[in-house]
Structure 1
């Protein structure tokens, strides 16, 4: 199977008050950190969907960037743009969906999702946290059309919650940790969340 990756990074971080993508993290930025992890953990194309801002990243032969000029329509619009771009440019059989504001995502987690997908016949493998499925998640080509049909205002989680019978799950206890507000950022800086990375 050939897995392409979509990293969603089109929002304007309105609750945080500054671009969360540029928050310093692990000696780099939050965005560069997840891009580096995706490139290290996968072998296929890695597509970054930008929108409200565009960001300087280290160049890489597998890194593709696309701008969602309609980013205000919602996360679903960015996901569909990313998927359509990958389908048109690459012969992928699976797509891994990542967010730019989940600092605990690791190479180990992504590879666990990929391994689980290769070992079973379920069309979707998702992370499991807060007692429900979420992203990061891998979708195979049999559900691409369903992804392309989600409303602009919602993300991949809507599809996960409405198709639980098609899911395999990988536990990710720190999946609920994201950066949406100044309080989230202070908690990340002041806590031992890195202990839970995996």
Structure 2
């Protein structure tokens, strides 16, 4: 199976007030940690979307082995990043795993389990709810190419147009950093 990994890292970090992708985390940056996780998943293709802080990220983050997709419309929500990235997905891809660039607590084993789902859509079912990563089979990619807004992938997931597999995952949904409080929780080691 040919799997494309996509790390969303184009956001402007409006709620945080600075580029969250570049926040210090375990001796590197938050985005470095997420990209290290993505590399450990051995995707056949690894994409990352950049937008708001693209020039700083290019200077400070190790982008080795990553194909960069620039998203000029990053301020319109993550749907625009997914839409932009789908244009770069290798035609051989059986599907796409979607990861958040500010969520380093996801485990590679869980990524692989989601990617192995035999349905068009898959999502992790954590102890406290649904969360990333998501799996989108190749026949869903045309839908991803027309996404708009910030919760577009969630709307597609809940639309009922495709069967969805919920992959059981131990523990709570890993923290994704949107605010200072989220970042403090992440640094304290709370809930993965």
Q: TM-score, normalised by structure 2?
A: 0.87
Q: Give, in whole Å, the separation in 1 of the partners of 2:168 and 2:175.
A: 14
Q: Give, in whole Å, the separation in 2 of the partners of 1:33 and 1:70.
A: 25
Q: What count of residue pairs does the alignment treat as equivalent?
A: 187
Pairwise CA RMSD = 2.1
Give the CA deviation at 1:28.
1.9
Give the CA deviation at 1:191.
4.1
Q: Give, in whole Å, the separation in 1 of the partners of 2:23 and 2:133.
A: 20
Give the CA deviation at 1:154.
3.1
Alpha carbons of 1:147 and 1:132: their partners in 2 closer, same or farther (altered >3 Å)?
Answer: farther
Q: Which has the higher helix share?
A: 1
Residue range with higher mean Cα deviation, 167-176 or 67-76: 167-176
Dislocated runs of 4+, deviation >4 Å: none
Maintained 8 Å contact 2:106/2:174: no
Q: Give, in whole Å, the separation in 1 of the partners of 2:146 and 2:127.
A: 26
Q: Please, which runs of 5 or more residues in structure 2 have no aligned partner? A: none
Give the CA deviation at 1:100.
0.9
Q: Give, in whole Å, the separation in 2 of the partners of 1:153 and 1:108.
A: 27
Equivalent residue for 1:60? 64
1:21-170 correspondence to structure 2 within 5 Å: 21-54=21-54, 55-56=57-58, 57-61=61-65, 63-87=66-90, 90-115=91-116, 117=117, 120=118, 122-129=119-126, 132-163=129-160, 166-170=163-167
Give the CA deviation at 1:144.
1.2
Q: Please, which runs of 5 or more residues in structure 1 have no aligned partner? A: none
Give the CA deviation at 1:40.
1.3
Q: Secondary structure at the match of 1:134?
A: strand
